Structure 1
Amino acid sequence: MHIRRKTFDDLLRVVFSRILRHGLQVEPIPSKGANKELFGVVLELTQPRARVSRTENRGRIFSALGELFWYLSGSNSLKFIEYYISKGYEAEEGTDIVWGGYGPRLLNKSNVNQIHEVVGLLKRNVSSRRAVIQLYDSGDLAGFYKDVPCTCTMQFIVRRGFLHMYVSMRSNDAYKGLPHDVFAFTMIQELIARELGVRLGRYKHAVASLHLYDTDLKKAEAFMAEDWQTKRMMPPMPMGSQWPSFKLALDAEEKIRNGYSVDVDKINVNDYWKDIIRLLQIYNVTRGTINRDNLRRIVFLRKSMKSSFYDQYIRKKSDKFYQDQLDLNLESDEYDEGER
């Protein structure tokens, strides 16, 4: 089955519709729960920058950014990713290590930085078919681990001046996992395209078991019932290598996550990455104590954003934060009690 669409929302609508109507119930029930699946599906996103859902239901840019930064920091720490995603990963017994975490596999697999090697290979031979990153390996098959990669390989191919990406997945949760995977992988695709000086091509996402858990079927139906959204894309990354700017953004993310103050205007990055860092700051504020100072901080950061693309995500996050404040039934000017 091949599903091709311009935006992620359009892809997701078709995916949910097909699984709800044609998915087969997996029997016996797998360890992670009852689910319906489609077997052997290729999803094609022709506009990879249309990677973020514009719906109320699935527009999750903050957690998706967190997962991207987790990958590209080289970390597999559970504490790191739980800051952004409270459920979804498990550490090995008595450790903080997520065995299946992509970070070390991407940047230090058998002492090889696979992203660096892929870029170098394509710079030497632009028509190469060998630019493949491996995530799932034989050790995952032989061992007994709580978390192993769902992604098998990522392949990058340059054709006629466009960088195309082909990802192979052994398994993909269409409701929770797919939105994050498409976001992170197409961001990596765009970073590599900028490094190579070529245009952003198509993104293909091949999945053996594309499934919806029974607990998410009603949520998928609710997504289908939402009004059609505007088909806006994320702003394009600036031309030229973005790794120096991204490394500075990585440093800022670590400081923000660990509670240190960051002055975005003093970081030597372009407006694209300054907006990304501000999103990380907004997320950090919404994890804190509910008070007027934090509400003002969110408003200040929102007004500092250069791109209006992110506005709906910020408003949704701040509305939730404000609603939490109202739920506390506090009437004074100072809101120094309670936590989110």
Structure 2
Amino acid sequence: MRHVWEHGDERMDRTGVGTRSVFGTMLRFDLSGGRVPLLTTKRVYWKAAAREMLWFLTGSTNIRPLLEQGVTIWSDWPLARYRRETGDAIAQEDFEARIVAEEDFARRWGDLGPVYGKQWVDWPTYRYGPDGRYEKGPGINQVSQVIESLKADPGGRRHIIEGWNVAELDRMALPPCHKTYQFHVIGSGRDARLNCLLYQRSCDVALGLPFNLFGAAMLCRMVAAQTSMRPGELIWAGGDTHLYLNHAELVRTQLAREPAGEPRLALVRVPETIFDYRFEDFAVTDYAPQGPIRAPVAV
């Protein structure tokens, strides 16, 4: 954060807010012994991040299941579209309440397009039909394929979950930021350790990165458990790594704080498949963060 704020190139961006940005960054985290990259210099709402990751794995693209659990982190984009297209300056709380209460309203205004989960578990395919025209084929569950490939060929170099579907970007409320997950195995048998590399094309360091790190660590832990491996290392690689100019107060406050403690993430239960995890299957301990620091989301 300090490096980006002090040395980043100041530039305008899609949101019109403006950023300070550096390109090409890397962080490494040891996940052994239950370690988890959870910031202590401000409170990270890891429960919301966990619910989001589980929502991705369902393949859902509608915010209604998240709002029913009190998770509002995806509301800004459909709310902006609703206001723009209807001219109704509805309050966010009222919009979210209608999404939860009204199924038809949620279907019309709560859908984000084919974002993360859709690409992860139902990547669309097309094939030639009998009449020579393209017809829709079966969707590809990348998550299932990666788990099976890790079991069958742990030394392989193709254990990848990809969210960047070029053909569908224009239908997404927000193209995937944390776009590519690659898994890598060290050792064998009972000593096998699973590493995960996440490439993030665009990273909001103040608000997005804390969620992204926890979510990636959580996914790595789940995949490791499903393949009978131990978690190894999480490597995070950033493309455009930036801080928004209107986050100056957050940056100053957070940089004045000292990290303390070493949180742990435990899996309480390992279900039959990665799609059967419930929120109650995860427990975070030894987490005593400093207070939350609020800042606006750039949409």
TM-score by length of 2: 0.72
Distance 1:149 1:88, change over 3 A: farther
Tell me, yes or no, if structure 1 residue 45 matches structure 2 residue 32: no
In structure 1, distance between residues paired with 2:172 and 2:263 = 40
Is the 8 Å Cα contact of residues 23 and 241 (structure 2) preserved in structure 1? yes
Is the 8 Å Cα contact of residues 58 and 275 (structure 2) preserved in structure 1? no
Is the 8 Å Cα contact of residues 51 and 66 (structure 2) preserved in structure 1? yes
- CA deviations on 1:97-138 (whole Å, 9 max, x unpaired) are 112531111111121111110011111111000111110121
Give the match for residue 77 of structure 2.
Answer: 90
- CA deviations on 1:78-101 (whole Å, 9 max, x unpaired) are 233343125565236643211253
In structure 2, distance between residues paired with 1:215 and 1:54 = 22
Is the 8 Å Cα contact of residues 89 and 98 (structure 1) preserved in structure 2? no
- Indicate the structure with greater strand content: 2
Give the match for residue 156 of structure 1.
Answer: 183
- CA deviations on 1:218-255 (whole Å, 9 max, x unpaired) are 202211112331123223x368x4445962626xxxxx
Is the 8 Å Cα contact of residues 136 and 151 (structure 1) preserved in structure 2? no
1:35 to 9, 12, 19: 19
In structure 2, distance between residues paired with 1:131 and 1:203 = 15
1:76 to 61, 66, 83: 61
In structure 1, distance between residues paired with 2:54 and 2:255 = 30
- Indicate the structure with greater helix content: 1
Is the 8 Å Cα contact of residues 31 and 217 (structure 2) preserved in structure 1? no
In structure 1, distance between residues paired with 2:116 and 2:144 = 15
Distance 1:47 1:129, change over 3 A: same
Give the match for residue 11 of structure 2.
Answer: 26
The alpha-carbon deviation at position 316 of structure 1 amounts to 7.5
Task: State the structure with bigger RCO (CA 8 A, min sep 6), 1 or 2.
Answer: 2
Tell me, yes or no, if structure 1 residue 230 matches structure 2 residue 261: yes
The alpha-carbon deviation at position 43 of structure 1 amounts to 1.7
Q: Structure 1 vs Structure 2: percent identity of aligned residues?
A: 21
In structure 1, distance between residues paired with 2:43 and 2:232 = 24
The alpha-carbon deviation at position 40 of structure 1 amounts to 1.0
> Which residue identity is paired with 1:157?
H
In structure 1, distance between residues paired with 2:182 and 2:73 = 30
Give the match for residue 249 of structure 1.
Answer: 278
Is the 8 Å Cα contact of residues 53 and 60 (structure 1) preserved in structure 2? no
Give the match for residue 63 of structure 1.
Answer: 48
- Alpha-carbon RMSD: 2.8
> Which residue identity is paired with 1:152?
K
> Which residue identity is paired with 1:114?
Q
Distance 1:42 1:171, change over 3 A: same
The alpha-carbon deviation at position 308 of structure 1 amounts to 4.7
Give the match for residue 214 of structure 2.
Answer: 183
> Which residue identity is paired with 2:258?
D
Give the match for residue 205 of structure 1.
Answer: 236
1:193 to 188, 203, 224: 224
TM-score by length of 1: 0.64
> Which residue identity is paired with 1:129?
R
- CA deviations on 1:178-214 (whole Å, 9 max, x unpaired) are 1111111111111111111111111111111000111
- Give the length in aligned residue pairs: 243
Is the 8 Å Cα contact of residues 172 and 210 (structure 1) preserved in structure 2? yes
Distance 1:248 1:210, change over 3 A: closer
3-state secondary structure, aligned to 1:203: strand
Distance 1:211 1:162, change over 3 A: same
The alpha-carbon deviation at position 21 of structure 1 amounts to 1.4
Distance 1:204 1:248, change over 3 A: closer
Structure 1: gaps of 5 or more residues: 1-15, 251-271, 277-306, 318-340
Give the match for residue 118 of structure 2.
Answer: 104
> Which residue identity is paired with 1:118?
V
Is the 8 Å Cα contact of residues 63 and 74 (structure 2) preserved in structure 1? no
In structure 1, distance between residues paired with 2:16 and 2:273 = 40
Distance 1:20 1:88, change over 3 A: farther
Is the 8 Å Cα contact of residues 51 and 234 (structure 1) preserved in structure 2? no
- CA deviations on 1:123-159 (whole Å, 9 max, x unpaired) are 1111000111110121245x36532111231111112
Is the 8 Å Cα contact of residues 58 and 179 (structure 1) preserved in structure 2? no
Give the match for residue 286 of structure 2.
Answer: 309
User: Which segment drifts farther, 125-134 or 78-87?
Assistant: 78-87
> Which residue identity is paired with 1:198?
M
